[in-house]
Amino acid sequence: MARMASEGDEYEEEEEKWSQWFCGLPGNEYFCEINLAYIEDSFNLYGLRAMVSNYQDALNIILDLTGVCNYVMLSHGLDAMLKKFRDGDFGFCPRALCDGQPVVPAGMYDEPKKAEMKYVAHLVEDLPIPHGCVVDGAYFGSTFPHLFFLTYSNLEPPPSTHLYVPRVFGYKIHRKGPNRHRLATTAAKALENGDQ
């Protein structure tokens, strides 16, 4: 016997289509779709009412966006982000010494509207901002990248075989040597005067 579609089923299909469309837009590759069971659990929405005016009207949109931070900390969310990581959806570290390793999104703060999203490569300790990114870092929070790499410790890349050696005119400089500043100043003056 054929099952008739109810209003709820139509809404669910429309919501899934919207989520797929939104996540497929350029610049939104950092987001993952949130499981409907997570959305329906009111415990996971704690604290959103105070952050959003017209909460009831905006609930459907907010759940797919602000809820990402909490969702990606759960096993289903981590699994979804792992797939995106392996597919290279987040991009790759542009730094030469990272050898093009994949990155994950990160936030400096857990509160919205404080800073844009940044990304973390496992070998890099600072957080560069992806080119042209306007995604709020709170969508991912400050815990996500570290929890991700702790959960999937097998993703840790081998140490880089390429080491940067600082040089002035081809001569190696000891990073903490007493003459480092003097050598740099002398080299700059030589370039200004055209000496080589």
- The tens digit of pLDDT for each residue in 5-50 reads 444 555 455 555 677 787 788 877 777 777 767 766 778 777 777 8
Q: How far is CA 80 from CA 28, 29, 32, 118, 142, in A?
A: 14, 12, 7, 19, 18
Asked if residue 103 and residue 134 are part of one domain, the reply reads: yes
Q: Tokens 């009412």 sit at which residue?
A: 49
**pLDDT number for residue 177:** 63
Between residues 145 and 39, the one the model is more confident about: 145
150-154, 171-175, 191-195: which has the minimum mean pLDDT? Answer: 191-195
Asked if residue 52 and residue 145 are part of one domain, the reply reads: yes
What total number of domains does the chain contain? Answer: 2
The answer to whether the beta carbons of residues 36 and 60 sit under 8 Å apart is no
**pLDDT number for residue 21:** 81
Please say whether the dihedral angle defined by the alpha carbons of residues 169, 172, 173 and 179, taken in this order, is positive or negative. negative
Q: Residue 85 pLDDT > 90, yes or no?
A: yes
| pLDDT confidence band for 66 (50 / 70 / 90) | very low
What residues make up the domain containing 179?
165-196
What CA–CA distance (Å, rounded) separates 123 from 103?
A: 10
Asked if residue 126 and residue 78 are part of one domain, the reply reads: yes
Asked if residue 23 and residue 75 are part of one domain, the reply reads: yes
